[in-house]
Amino acid sequence: MTTKRSLSIAAIILFIFNSVYAQESTSNYCSICKDHTHSEGAPYRLDFKHEVPFILSSGLILGAGILAPALNNTQPFTVEELATLNVNSINAFDRRSVNNYSPVDAKTSDYIRTGVTILPILLLSEHHTKEDITALLTMGVEVMTITYGVTSTVKNLVNRTRPNVYNALAPLEERTSARSRRSFFSGHTSHTAAAAFYMAKVISDYHPNMNKGTKVALWAVSGYIPALTGYLRVKSGKHFPTDVMAGYAFGAFTGWLIPHLHKVKKEGPLSKLDVQVYPGVNGMQFSLKLGL
C-alpha cells in the first residue's frame, strides 16, 4: 500500500464520517443515534474538586517528560561505534526493519501527527458535544500531556537505538544524532492513538444509542489513523514494529481511560452504596450504608 493511497483512504473516511456527524441543531434529534433520538445529559463530571487530582497528575507527568531529556546522559553513537553495531543483537521480529529508510514516509508521519489536532472539530461540529467543549478540551489536554510525559520519560530511560542507525543508507547525521537512541516507544504513534481514541470515546459516550454502522465506522477511523502512522514510522526506518505497537497500545489506552474516569456514575441499586473502614475498640469495624 503506497503512502499516497493510505492518506487518501484516511482523508475520505474521515470526511465521510464528519459529514454524517455534523448535522442538525434540534436538541433531541440526532442523525447518528437509533431512531434519530438523542439520549440527553452530559456523560462526564468535571468540577474543580474532582479535577484537582487529574490536573496535578498530568502536570507532574508532563514535568517528568520535559526533564527526562535533560537528565539523560546517554551519548549518541560516534562514527567508530557505528561500525561495531551488530544487527543480530536485535530480536528476529524487529530485525527485518533495519533496512527500511524513507524520508518521505517520515515527513508524512509528521504531517499526520500535526494534522490529528483537527479531530476536536468533530466535537465542535455537533451540538450535543460543543456545549461542553471547555470540559472536553480540558480532558483532551490531560490526555495529551500524560501521553507526552510518559512517552518522553520512557524514551529517555530505555535509550533504544533506532533501526536507521544500523542502515548505511541513512545519512550519517541521523545515525549519530542525539535522537538516534530514542526509539522506544513511538511518540508519533502514541500521540495519534491518544487523540483518535479520545475522540472516539467521547463521541461514543455522548451517543450511547449510536447506530451500529456509525459506531463501527467511528472506531475503524480511530484505529486506522495511528495504525497508518505506525506503519509509516516503521517504513521510514525511525522505529521498530515493537516500538509502534507499544506506542499504539499506550496512546489508545490513555485516550480511552481519561474520559472513562470522568464518567458520571449511573443511578442504580448500588449507586448510593457507601462502605467505610475504621479502627474500633475491638479491632477494625466496617460501616455499610445503602441509600434507597
Give the integer Cα–Cα distance in Å for 291 and 271: 8
For residue 136, give the C-alpha cell.
472536553
**What is the residue extent of each domain of the chain?**
3-290
CB 226 within 8 A of CB 256: no
Burial 211-228 (b: 16+ CB within 10 A, else e): beebbebbbebbbbbbbb
The per-residue pLDDT string of the chain (292 residues; one tens digit each, 9 = 90 and over) reads 555 555 554 555 455 455 544 444 445 666 677 766 666 667 888 888 888 999 999 999 999 999 999 999 999 999 999 999 999 999 999 999 999 999 999 999 999 998 887 776 677 666 677 778 888 889 999 999 999 999 999 999 999 999 999 999 999 999 999 899 999 999 999 999 999 999 999 988 988 888 888 889 999 999 999 999 999 999 999 999 999 999 999 999 999 999 999 988 765 444 444 545 445 555 545 555 554 4
Q: Name residues whose C-beta falls within 8 Å of residue 116's C-beta, 6 or more positions apart in sequence.
A: 191, 192, 195, 196, 225
| 46: Cα within 13 Å, side-chain hemisphere | 18
As a residue count, the chain comes to: 292
Q: Name which of 193, 215, 88 is nearest 143 in CA terms.
A: 193
Grid cell locating 220? 475503524
Q: How far is CA 82 from CA 85, 175, 196, 198, 233, in A?
A: 6, 8, 37, 40, 22
> Residue 45 carries which side chain, given as an amino acid letter?
R
